[in-house]
Each structure stands twice: as C-alpha cells, then as structure tokens.
Amino acid sequence: MSLTEAPPAPPSQPEEPQRPKLRKPSTRKRLVPYWLLLPGILWLLVFFALPLVYQASTSVQTGSLEQGFEVTWHFQTYVDALRDYYPQFIRSLLYAGTATILCLLLGYPLAYLIAFKAGRWRNLVLVLVIAPFFTSFLIRTLAWKTILADGGAVVDVLNTLHVLDVTSWLGWTESNRVLATPMAVVCGLTYNFLPFMILPLYTSLERIDGRLHEAAGDLYATPATTFRKVTLPLSMPGVVSGTLLTFIPASGDYVNAELLGSTDTKMVGSVIQSQFLRVLDYPTAAALSFILMAVVLLAVTFYIRRSGTEDLV
C-alpha cells in the first residue's frame, strides 16, 4: 500500500495527529541527583568550608588570648610568619619531596611486581601493602623510634657498614645516631606514605594490557625499551596521583618530625601545631596554614602541567 493511496483514517481514531508524546521526567525523578548530593555537600560545608573561612578570618586578626582577638586586616602576620619560619617551610618541602621520590623508587617495582608477576599471590601482597593501616599511624611511628634507637640493630648494622659515616658527612645523620636526624624523619615519612604511592601505581599498571608488552617485544623493543616506551608512559597517571597522594600529606605532616626528629628537623606542620596549641598565637598559626596550602597548590599545579598527563585516557 503506497502513501498516496492511503485510505481515510477510520472515524474511531482521535483527531490529534499521532505524535509521540514527550514525557517530562517527573519532578521527583529530576530532584534525585540533588538529594544524593546533599549529604556530601552539607558535610563539606560544615566541616571544610566553614572552618576554612573561620581560619582565614583568624589569620588577619590581632590581639591576645586574654584580651580576645579582633579582625584588623593585619596582613603583616603573613609576612612575619614567612620571615620567621621560612627554614621550616623549605625543610618541609625538601623532606616531603625526598620521601616522595623514595616512595616512588620503592613503590614502583613493588607495584609492577604485584600487577604483572604476582599471579595468584596478587591479593595477598595487596593485603600486606594495606596491612599497616590496621595499626594506628601514631603507634607505627613510635615503633620506628625503637627501630632506629641508639644502639639498636639498625644503627649497629649501618655503623658496621660505615654507612653512617657517609650519611653523617652528608648531614643526614649525626655521629652514630639515626634518631633525631633528618634521615629518621624522611624514613618515617617514606614508610608512612608508601601505601599511598603503591595503590595508585598498582591501579594504573594493572590496567595496562599485557599484550602491549608482547607487541612491543614483537616490534624489536628489548624488555628495557618496552618499559621505557610503553609501560612507563602508560603508568604516568598512577605516578602523578601517587606522588600527589604522598607529597601533599607528607608536606603538612608533623608526627614524624615530632617523634623521630629533633628541634633541628622541625617541619612547618610542627610549627603550626605548636603555634596553635602551645604558643596560642592563633593568627600566626592560621597564616602559616594558608601559606602552606598556597605553596602546595602552586607546586601541584606546576607539577600536573609539566607531567602533561591530561590526554592519557
């Protein structure tokens, strides 16, 4: 039956043209995403945004605990804080950076092993990587105090091997001591943040198709070249997120510096903590927090720009 010869519509049909009705989603359905967002938004508002605003206002206040603090837009606090505590800032970035590089050097081979070679042991090794989280951060760091203690096994071995002579000469340790030196703090940081490096590295390595390795080998790439040209570039998203997850918390950490270091190894986290809780100079503490936040944000932005991982899937 062709269109031109179509018979007139039977009278029983409605006069309305047969247009498919566009059904509007009901109001309730449209609101669902917002309802799901609400708890998270509220949480962030109460526990992140409000304290941040409060801290920002504290940082430009003047006064004392006895007389009360008042907003006087005193930005000089920032200048003074930076002038007084820049060594601790530099130290923080240096320690956190060193710990991040150490984490990467230790974590990458391990993550590679779990992703490609562990076979049926994969899950067990992954559990072992996360196992330290079953104990508190503080207790683990305290344990390192014992491990690195003067006259302990680690120090003895390093002494016998004359490693401490070298590290002391470099300024990382002090005459036969490891505890209360920069090396102890960096070791503690490395240990504590290693899982944060391994897990993202593992995730991005595990996603690499094993056949790409075969293809590279088939195309005349030696195993080393395959790693350099295929595996490493494809794991860059993991490297970037791993280093960020390690560097950011490490640069603000104070537990390791407090427990494993000395007054000479104070990091900016320790300074902020003591300004808040001991000196009770809230404006300086708040200003230091903001400076730290700005420095880390800048460093991270620069790093992400440079590593150019945006177009990596």
Partner 1 sequence: MTQQQQTAGGDVRLAGISKTYGSFTAVQPLDLTVPQGSFFALLGASGCGKTTTLRMIAGLEEATTGTVFLGGKDITDLPPYKRPVNTVFQSYALFPHLDITENVAFGLRRRGIKSVKKQVDDMLELVQLGDFAHRKPHQLSGGQQQRVAVARALINHPQVLLLDEPLGALDLKLRRQMQLELKRIQTEVGITFVHVTHDQEEAMTMADTVAVMNGGRVEQLGAPADLYENPRTTFVANFLGTSNLIEGEIVSTGGDLVVAAGGGKLTLPRERCSAPTTSGGRLLLGIRPEKISLAHADDADDIAAGRNRVTGRITDSSFIGVSTQYVVESPAGTALQVYEQNIERDTRLLPGAEVVLHWNPAHTFGLDAAQDIDAGATSVEDAE
Binding site for partner 1 (CB under 8 A): 209, 211-212, 214-222, 225, 229-230, 233-234, 312-313
| Min CB(231)–partner 1 separation in Å | 10
Find the shortest distance in angstroms from Cβ 207 to partner 1. 10
What token pair was written down for 32? 């669902």
Minimum CB distance to partner 1 smaller for 30 or for 207: 207
Alpha helices in 11-121 (DSSP H): 27-44, 50-59, 76-112
Q: Which is nearer to partner 1, 157 or 212 (CB)?
A: 212
Cβ at position 240, least distance to partner 1 in Å:
14
In terms of CB distance, is 106 or 236 closer to partner 1?
Answer: 236
Report the alpha-carbon distance of residue 255 to residue 278 in Å, rounded: 16
> 107 — alpha (psi -120 to 50), left (phi > 0) or beta?
alpha
Question: Closest distance between partner 1 and the C-beta of residue 215, in Å?
Answer: 4
Return all residues near 133 (Cβ < 8 A) that are at least 6 apart. 195
Report the nearest approach of partner 1 to the CB of residue 228 (Å).
11
Q: Which CB sits closer to partner 1, 140 or 213? A: 213
By beta-carbon proximity to partner 1, the closer residue of 165 and 206 is 206
CA distance 154 to 148: 6
End-to-end CA, the chain: 52
Least distance (Å) from partner 1 to the CB of residue 22? 33
Residue 128 or 232 having the CB closest to partner 1: 232
CA–centroid distance for 70 within its chain: 35
CA 301 → CA 57, 291, 308, distances in Å? 25, 15, 11
Distance from C-alpha of 58 to C-alpha of 282, rounded to nearest angstrom: 7
